[in-house]
Structure 1
């Protein structure tokens, strides 16, 4: 489980390409290496990946075809930054919201409104997932727990403070950038349960 509070950015330092498969090697910030072992879960832009090798502060992760298809990790090049979060432990403070690290889709940045000490980003998302998006609800964007500012048709916005822009890759995102989306698991469960109940009543 993750909390959506990004602990740092890591730089992608090597990519090993194989058929429908890829290994990413990142340079992990020193403060995040403590106790990191093979098999540990680390979220990359919100996508849960498993540690496959640790050599100093260079840590390797394998990405299968479905991960490359569904997330923006397949678009990364050497030198790009990634939002990183270690898996939460029982007893940790949850400053964001409970996240599984399972990316449901990608969304496109459609506009960026800049004001002093504030930035509002609008995103366009596949319409079938907009039923999980509510004003003032939670959403995970590239692994960051954020509150939805507004939602309409197939788009929504979030408002970002300077701390979020400085500590995460959202400060680097431009119009047209693709971001990973994880919808709030509780919201998803409630919406899908209500849909099932209504559908069963309709068929009675």
Structure 2
């Protein structure tokens, strides 16, 4: 599990391509190296990856076909920067919201509104069926960053970014057309799905009752 509080950024230093598979190596910040071991979970742009090799501050991760398909990690090239968060411990402060590191879809940056002390960024989500889980003032994970949703339309939503977020994460360098990873808040998803299921059951029961009481 993760908290959505990005602990640092890391550069992709090399990529080994294979058939529907790749291994990329990142240069992890020194502060994130203590206690790191093979098999540990580290979020890259919000996507949970497993450590497969450690060589000093060079750490390797494997990306399978599904990861490359669903996330923006398949777009990365050597020299690109990713947001990094190591897996949370039970004693850690949850400054954002609990995140699984499982990316549901991606979104494209379609509008940026800059003001003196903050930035409003609009995203057009790739899988519009996920929009029902994106609610005004709800939680959302964007490239591994826990953020609060601003305005919402049928296919778009926005967030408001303070200077600290722009400085500490890759969102400060994003531009129009860039693609970001989206993780839906699982609690919101569970509530929406439960409400939909209950309403569908009630509607089915009402229709059945209507049919049974309908005069011949």
What TM bracket, shorter-length normalisation?
over 0.9
SS of equivalent to 1:25: strand
Equivalent position of 2:26 in the other structure: 26
Segments of structure 2 that go 5 or more residues without pairing to the other structure are 206-216
Equivalent position of 1:108 in the other structure: 108
Q: Which whole-Å deviations, capped at 9, do the CAs of 1:73-106 have from their partners, x for residues lacking one?
A: 0000000000000000001100000000000000
Q: Does 1:156 align with 2:136?
A: no
**Distance in 2, Cα, partners of 1:66 & 1:89:** 27
When the two chains are superposed, the root-mean-square deviation of aligned CA atoms in Å is 0.7
Equivalent position of 1:3 in the other structure: 3
Q: Which whole-Å deviations, capped at 9, do the CAs of 1:22-59 have from their partners, x for residues lacking one?
A: 00100000000010000000000000000000100000
What's the CA shift for 1:152?
Answer: 1.1
Q: Does 1:165 align with 2:132?
A: no
**Distance in 2, Cα, partners of 1:135 & 1:64:** 34
Q: TM-score, normalised by structure 2?
A: 0.93
**Distance in 2, Cα, partners of 1:189 & 1:63:** 28
SS of equivalent to 1:59: strand
Which protein shows a greater Rg?
2
**Distance in 2, Cα, partners of 1:201 & 1:51:** 47
What's the CA shift for 1:202?
Answer: 2.4
Q: Does 1:139 align with 2:140?
A: yes
What is the aligned length? 204
**Distance in 2, Cα, partners of 1:79 & 1:162:** 24
Q: Does 1:78 align with 2:78?
A: yes
Farther-moved stretch of structure 1 (187-196 vs 37-46): 187-196
Segments of structure 1 that go 5 or more residues without pairing to the other structure are none
Q: Which whole-Å deviations, capped at 9, do the CAs of 1:131-169 have from their partners, x for residues lacking one?
A: 001111100000000001111111000000111001101
What's the CA shift for 1:127?
Answer: 1.7
**Distance in 1, Cα, partners of 2:19 & 2:41:** 24
**Distance in 1, Cα, partners of 2:78 & 2:200:** 48
Equivalent position of 1:119 in the other structure: 119
Q: Does 1:195 align with 2:174?
A: no
Q: TM-score, normalised by structure 1?
A: 0.98
